[in-house]
């Protein structure tokens, strides 16, 4: 069995360059450079859900960002200060930069998911297997128009219900756009972890849930409660003869 590799892509709206913040950036001295640098930051942050990280536990600095973007350190520093002022970047408690609008553009898939999608397409069109390549692997980074296929299964549970897209490692966690935004706001650094966790659990256990967003919120609340209980249950008692 061939290995399944994840890849990430950005989806830019056709109105991206008409956004007021982008228009203001464009009018600044070195504005076009800042816009290109902003797009590079978005792409760098894709594998880490909007966080600018060198690796899992190593945040980017002015110096490392200058290296990977091939910009001068001074240009990177000035751009980040402007992005912070415009709200395009935030600094988290651990001094990690977070691209605040990344969830408007981010998507992910895998070579295995692509094969499954092509197989569904073949069955729908009743094409012979020989006409569909089994080793199709899309490019690592794609910029797609909003009107193009989102490469995710979209289902409508009932007439009048919101359309839900498939997420997770096994593409079996279904969330509407509003549910996804709510999870991203409530769990800015862990929403993807809970989606993948639910996806893997349903696949391995065979269990199904009526509302995936509600299940994720319940799991997150239970984890938070458990964390608080462990914090307050620590034993700070002192044995006789010991000092504090």
Domains of the chain: 1-147 (1.10.10.10), 152-235 (no CATH)
Residues forming beta bridges with residue 89, ordered by sequence position:
99
What pLDDT does 3 receive? 47
What is the tens place of the pLDDT at every residue in 36-47? 999 999 999 888
Q: How far apart are CA 56 and CA 120, in angstroms?
A: 35
Q: How far apart are CA 225 and CA 229, in angstroms?
A: 6
What pLDDT does 160 receive? 55
pLDDT tier at 207 (50, 70, 90 boundaries)?
confident
User: In the structure encoding, which two tokens stand for residue 233, read together?
Assistant: 């249950």
- For 222-237, what is the mean pLDDT? 69
Question: Distance of CA 227 to CAs 63, 184, 195, 198, 233, Å?
Answer: 36, 20, 20, 19, 10
What is the tens place of the pLDDT at every residue in 63-98? 999 999 999 999 999 999 999 999 999 998 778 999
Largest Cα–Cα distance of the chain, in whole Å? 82
């Amino acid at each position: 069995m061939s290995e399944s590799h994840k890849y990430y892509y950005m989806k830019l709206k056709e109105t991206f360059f008409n956004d007021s913040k982008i228009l203001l950036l464009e009018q600044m001295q070195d504005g076009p450079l800042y816009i290109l640098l902003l797009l590079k930051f978005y792409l760098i942050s894709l594998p880490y859900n909007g966080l600018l990280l060198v690796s899992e536990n190593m945040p980017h600095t002015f110096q490392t960002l200058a290296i990977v973007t091939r910009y001068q350190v001074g240009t990177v520093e000035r751009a980040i200060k402007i992005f912070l002022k415009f709200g395009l970047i935030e600094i988290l408690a651990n001094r990690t930069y977070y691209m605040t609008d990344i969830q408007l553009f981010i998507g992910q898939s895998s070579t295995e998911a692509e094969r499954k999608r092509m197989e569904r397409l073949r069955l729908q069109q009743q094409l012979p297997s020989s006409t569909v390549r089994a080793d199709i692997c899309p490019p690592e980074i794609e910029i797609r128009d909003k009107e193009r296929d989102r490469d995710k299964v979209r289902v409508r549970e009932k007439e009048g219900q919101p359309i839900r897209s498939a997420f997770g490692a096994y593409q079996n966690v279904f969330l509407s756009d509003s549910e996804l935004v709510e999870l991203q706001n409530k769990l800015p650094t862990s929403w993807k972890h809970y989606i993948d966790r639910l996806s893997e659990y349903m696949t391995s256990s065979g269990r199904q849930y009526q509302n995936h967003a509600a299940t994720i919120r319940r799991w997150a609340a239970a984890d938070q409660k458990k964390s608080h209980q462990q914090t307050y249950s620590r034993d700070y008692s002192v044995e006789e003869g010991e000092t504090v």
